[in-house]
Amino acid sequence: MLEGKVAIITGGTRGIGFETSKLFAKNKANVILLGSREETVNKALEDLKKEGISNVEGYYPNLNNYEEIENLFSSIKENYGHIDILINNAGISASKPIEDTTVEEFDRIMSLNVNAMFYTTKAVVPFLKENNGGVILNTSSMVSIYGQPSGVGYPASKFAVNGFTKSLARELGKYNIRVNAVAPGVTNTDMVSNLPKEVIEPLLKTIPLGRIGEPIDVANAFLYLASDMASYVTGNILSVDGAARS
């Protein structure tokens, strides 16, 4: 579905990002996964090679350094000749009450979940314009729609992701650049798998499909939105949450 495309995926070393990197590579995209540390990037690449996937490379730039991002994207464009897809998946969550949340913690959430998304998107848009089209996809969350009872910084950042997505879709549509977001519900990532049974079971009762999501469920949504099957889909926040409602 993505043969010949070049896709950059931030937060691509584990969970949803890793599964999306693998799925895109299996669909014959050239994938550049970005992680936070050299060791996590190397491990992700090794794990993919064990599955016979070689059309992936990885880097570990500081996503809050625009100049570094710009230089990396320019290098990728020079190496491959084009960039077609950007997935802004890197992010961190929060669950502390506001009284216990420090200014530094709130700033860190906004810096990675919002500012870094702006930096990578700003850096990639000129290359997508050169292609006469492309795709930008962002990872939102179900809490961007319903909020959450504690940890205000995370839903605030994801509300921002939604506004960024909808507005940019209107701005870039004339260049044939599509912009969408995927809003996962409770998904079986490292963070969720470490939760005790007494926490997971009440969550399941809120999900009509009766199970938590798997990373592949979200990766499939990204694949659809990145592909030509979604050529008339832009400015949307696609919920992948089993109809869960908080």
Phi-psi category of residue 151: left, alpha or beta, with phi > 0 → left and psi -120 to 50 → alpha: left
Positive or negative CA dihedral for 59, 173, 129, 28? Answer: positive
Name the H helices within the chain: 15-26, 38-50, 66-80, 103-110, 116-130, 143-146, 153-172, 190-193, 197-204, 215-226
Evaluate whether 166 touches 158 at the Cβ level (below 8 Å).
Answer: no
Catalytic residue chosen out of the listed positions 154, 175, 224, 232: 154
Evaluate whether 89 touches 12 at the Cβ level (below 8 Å).
Answer: yes
154 is catalytic: yes
Which of the residues are catalytic? 154
